[in-house]
């Protein structure tokens, strides 16, 4: 009964927003507020990654190669720290992974890590600003705004991103600092591209707090139905990556 009431309450919150949200959010270029706080992103997300690896380790170990090639996701909820100087928030956790029958070198030549957002499912618009490169010309920092088609209104997220390059692994750490339509109240995470012999493993680890009203910040409860929606979204992103790989 409590679950039914919770879902009903969520519908009451979400439904009115549909009438005041545009069918297609007009995409704008990204912008910087000057308050992105790059310094602690990697620390915050690495702590989240460690916790999620421990939380889902046994489940991941039980996956077969066939499971990994098809893509798999796990969900939960917990308090998550976005910024080192701020209190933790209760957020939905999503751990999604997929193995691709493509060498690491070929994979990152087709999906450059700094363009990870370009091939997401239901992408309407995307813009990059404030790029910083290293001596090799690789992007190590950027601000990315992405708009994804969603119901009842589109997901609009502007993120600071830090990219770490290792010999057999590249990881993009992100944190949302702006959501024009308040669809995302909190979002931190990473995507890792990992060499696995002659294949490539992609792992998303992320935490989310979605908004339910484009006018005021009202959080959507971390219900199982919401967690499933987030999981399906990331599985679709990984399927889109597969389409990109096979198309080239």
Average pLDDT, the chain: 88
Q: What is the CATH number of the domain that holds 121?
A: 3.30.530.20
Mapping DSSP to helix (H, G, I), strand (E, B) and coil, where does residue 48 land? helix
pLDDT score at 213: 76
Instruction: Determine contact, residues 30/158, Cβ cutoff 8 Å.
Output: yes
Tens of pLDDT, residues 144-192: 999 999 887 899 999 999 999 999 999 999 999 999 999 999 999 999 9
| Confidence class for position 232, pLDDT limits 50, 70, 90 | very high
Phi/psi of residue 50, nearest 5 degrees: -60, -45
Annotate 135-169 with b (16+ C-beta within 10 A) or e (fewer).
Answer: eeeebebbbbbbbbebebbbbbbbbbbbbeeeeee
Find, among 38, 43, 57, 47, the residue nearest to 78 by Cα: 47
* 130 pLDDT higher than 70: yes
Tell me the helix, strand and coil percentages in the chain, rounded to 5: 35, 35, 30
Tens of pLDDT, residues 93-127: 999 999 999 999 999 999 999 999 999 999 999 99
Contacts for 146 with CB less than 8 Å, ≥ 6 apart: 117, 120, 123, 125, 126, 155, 156, 157, 159
Tens of pLDDT, residues 55-88: 999 999 999 999 999 999 999 999 999 999 999 9
pLDDT score at 218: 85
Token output for 20 = 């005041």
Q: Which residue has the higher pLDDT, 33 or 93?
A: 93
Separation CA 121–CA 114 (nearest Å): 16
Find, among 211, 195, 222, 191, the residue nearest to 95 by Cα: 191
Token output for 88 = 């933790």
Find, among 147, 200, 209, the residue nearest to 175 by Cα: 209
- Terminal CA-CA length for the chain: 51
Q: Are strands 139-148 and 199-210 parallel, antiparallel or unpaired?
A: unpaired
Question: Tell me, what DSSP letter sits at residue 206?
Answer: E
**Structural domain count, the chain:** 1
User: CA–CA distance from 36 to each of 79, 100, 132 (Å)?
Assistant: 21, 33, 14
Global pTM value: 0.87
CB-based burial of residue 12 (10 Å sphere; 0-12 exposed, 13-18 middle, 19+ buried)? Answer: exposed
Which residues span the domain enclosing 218?
2-247
pLDDT score at 4: 42
pLDDT score at 35: 60
């Amino acid at each position: 009964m409590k679950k039914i009431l919770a879902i009903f309450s969520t519908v009451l919150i979400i439904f009115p927003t549909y009438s005041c949200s545009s069918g297609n959010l007009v995409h704008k270029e990204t912008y910087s507020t000057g308050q992105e706080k790059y310094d602690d992103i990697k620390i915050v997300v690495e702590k989240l990654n460690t916790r999620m690896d421990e939380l889902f380790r046994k489940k991941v170990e039980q996956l077969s190669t066939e499971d990994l090639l098809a893509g798999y996701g796990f969900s939960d909820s917990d308090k998550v720290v976005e910024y080192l100087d701020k209190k933790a928030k209760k957020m939905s956790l999503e751990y999604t992974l997929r193995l691709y029958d493509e060498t690491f070198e070929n994979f990152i030549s087709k999906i450059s890590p700094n363009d990870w957002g370009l091939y997401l499912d239901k992408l309407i618009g995307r813009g990059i600003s404030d790029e910083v490169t290293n001596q090799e010309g690789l992007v190590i920092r950027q601000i990315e705004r992405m708009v994804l088609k969603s119901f009842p209104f589109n997901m609009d997220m502007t993120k600071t991103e830090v990219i770490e390059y290792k010999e057999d692994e590249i990881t993009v750490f992100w944190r949302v600092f702006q959501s024009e339509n308040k669809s995302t109240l909190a979002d931190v995470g990473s995507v890792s591209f990992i060499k696995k012999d002659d294949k490539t493993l992609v792992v998303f680890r992320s935490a989310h707090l979605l908004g339910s009203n484009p006018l005021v910040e009202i959080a959507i409860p971390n219900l199982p139905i919401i967690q499933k929606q987030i999981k399906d979204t990331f599985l679709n992103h990984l399927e889109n990556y597969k389409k990109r790989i096979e198309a080239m």
